Chains A and B, each alone.
Chain A
Amino acid sequence: MINVSNLSVRLGGRPVLHGVSLEARPGALTAIVGPNGCGKTTTLKAISGELAPAGGTIRINGRDLRGLKPWELASMRGVLPQSTVISFPFTVREVVRLGLAAGANADAALHDRIAAEALEAVDLGGFAGRFYQELSGGEQQRVQLARVLCQISEPVTDGEPRYLLLDEPVSSLDIRHQLGIMQLARNFCERGGGVVAVMHDLNLTAMFADHMVMMKAGKVRASGAPAEVLTDETMEAVFGCRMRVGVAPPAPVPFVLPQTASL
């Protein structure tokens, strides 16, 4: 369980989060949604341990974040940042393998298998030898996800759940890969792990999330099951635009919902 209570964060001397509290259970996909600049990434960074909070506490599996060393954290959660640029010409295989811990008893064959499986999982089977810098944006995003999957290859170890913290994991993916990656996250949850994902696509969120946290201006405005959170009222209050939940547009306008996909 990830437990965030009364979290506040200041960035550049300005308060960005004001008393955010949320819970992410193992076995559940928790989605954080909200307008640009409302503090989703900041919340995720605080949970990852990358940002020191100005106030409040964060616990992972009951342990206070402040007492954990970087390598302990790395064994409990993997983090997919909103974007990643790399500075040297690594190949896809090399980037993905960075996620594997360099234990003294590193088993080369096992590592090769985990890396290959991770690439397969994000549908980049034939890409191992390509240069990362020569991939498209969506392909790069999937390589980074494969790297995270290498780091957290098992949803549960030693009886303790592990977590994926994903910042807009599908933002630059086509619809088929959006569905594929969200399904991957779901499977991770079903096998006992926990996922916290920052999302912008509300349809995908409604389709895959077990728990939704809706933020506005550094505060949590609503949280609960998607059906409770996604209402006409919250949409207007949080995003400032009046729209109707669950209403199809009038006939001549085509619309495509991910829910109708069969893969």
Chain B
Amino acid sequence: MPRSEALGRGMRLTGLAADIRSEWRAGNRARLARLVVVALAAVAIATFVGSIMTGAADASLANVWRWLIGEADQALSIRDRIIILDIRLPRAVLGMLVGASLAVSGVVMQGLFRNPLADPGLVGVSSGASLGAVLLIVLGTATFGPLFALFGFYALPVAAFFGGLVTTLLLYRIATRGGQTSIATLLLAGIALGALTGAVTGVLVFMADDKQLRDLTFWGLGSLAGANWTKILASAPIILLSLAVTPFLARGLNAITLGEAAAFHMGIPVQRLKNVAIVSVAAATGASVAVSGGIGFVGIVVPHLLRLVIGPDHRYLLPASALLGGTLLILADMIARTIVSPAELPIGIVTAFIGAPFFLWILLRGRSNMGL
């Protein structure tokens, strides 16, 4: 499409958008996908900056920038500085990390189980992870003293990781026979695990004291409200590490779409692929749950939307999902903290309000493609 025509359609159509449209028309998904990844990166950065600027306290972009480069020390009041550095920035960073981690875990899990409905939240991996975290909170230092001593503030993410890992392995054992996964079994096992987790959490609530109770409520809904640099320090290394291995899984996840046997025929070390995928899903989900509770639907909505646009090739789907997941979670968080301001909704409620109807729409549209 000529540039002038694109511009004629309105200011939003930049050159990149026009390129994306023409690749879409040409049906060239590989090039389209690369352009979409670039566009999503730009949108992610814009959203990130925008979310730091948005809120009750007014801090203009120009002033923040001038202060950042040390040009004008007085450009920001101390109060604004604290709001930006210690409240909004960690919140945006955590939103980006958790959103990316949820979306990428969704992609990897769906690739591994060869089904677009396999989402860590939906099949109970998140429940398993929060059970790990809840156990740690309630039974606390008495039982898990050595764990605290060994891992410091990593103890919570590590506990959630083990919760998630055990659940994922269990699900795999239950739902996959001879390289074939039954999605019905997977979802039903997810329900059972969710119920079990709920029951155990219920028992723990009886044992909990007031402070622990408040912490527990937080797990139920999911929130970025408690974002601070300690939480980022505790979760970022785990999340970034598990995101960093996923590009190496991309070719294997593509091949395994044809079945585990076909992937092996094409030279993929299938068992190793599965091990790495399972550990990375458990680690990313565990770390996310540990710092922000159970935030649903990101892992299913984001990959699904992207597959419609750029196709299922994991080489592009993985980075695109990370970027879109982070962006959407920051946006959801902005909604969560402005819609009932000065109070604040847990972000899990926002993602459920948007994600659940979308999920139903997915089911309406393509039940036959879901293996249901």
Contacts and interface: CB of A to CB of B under 8 A. Distances in A.
A101 interface: yes
Interface stretch (A31-39, A58-66, A69-77): A69-77
B267 A71 contact: yes
A88 B307 contact: yes
A69 B311 contact: no
A23 B313 CA distance: 39
Interface in A229-249: none
A88 to B, nearest CB: 4
B257 A78 contact: no
Contacts of A49: 264
B259 A48 contact: no
Contacts of A75: 267
Interface string A84-95: 111111110011
B369 A98 contact: no
A261 interface: no
A88 B267 contact: no
Contact of A88 (B27, B257, B264, B268): B257
A45 B262 CA distance: 11
Which residue among A70, A71, A88, A133 has the maximum number of chain B CB atoms within 10 Å of its CB?
A: A88
A50 B271 CA distance: 12
B267 A90 contact: no
A75 B255 CA distance: 15
B266 A89 contact: no
B293 interface: no
A102 B311 CA distance: 19
B145 interface: no
Interface string B285-321: 0000000000000000000000100011100000000
Contacts, number: 73
A163 B313 CA distance: 28
A95 B258 contact: yes
Contacts of A133: 369
A43 interface: no
Given A49-B264, A84-B262, A89-B312, A70 B270 contact: yes
Which residue among A69, A70, A89 has the maximum number of chain B CB atoms within 10 Å of its CB?
A: A70
Contact of B257 (A74, A90, A101): A90
Contacts of A86: 257-259
B266 A102 contact: no
A88 B259 contact: no
Nearest to A51: B261
Nearest to A78: B265
Contacts of A89: 307, 311-312, 369
A87 B266 contact: no
A104 B169 CA distance: 32
A72 B266 CA distance: 10
Nearest to A72: B267
A162 to B, nearest CB: 13
17 contacts: A48-B265, A50-B264, A70-B269, A72-B267, A73-B267, A74-B266, A74-B267, A81-B259, A81-B262, A84-B262, A87-B115, A87-B116, A89-B369, A90-B311, A90-B313, A91-B29, A94-B311
What 8 pairs between A and B have smallest CB-CB spacing?
Answer: A74-B267, A88-B312, A87-B114, A71-B267, A79-B265, A129-B27, A70-B269, A102-B251
Given A91-B311, A95-B258, A102-B251, 16 more contacts: A45-B261, A50-B261, A70-B264, A70-B267, A71-B267, A74-B266, A79-B262, A84-B259, A88-B114, A88-B257, A90-B257, A90-B311, A90-B312, A94-B311, A94-B312, A98-B266
Interface of A: 45, 48-50, 69-75, 78-79, 81, 84-91, 94-95, 98-99, 101-102, 129, 133, 151
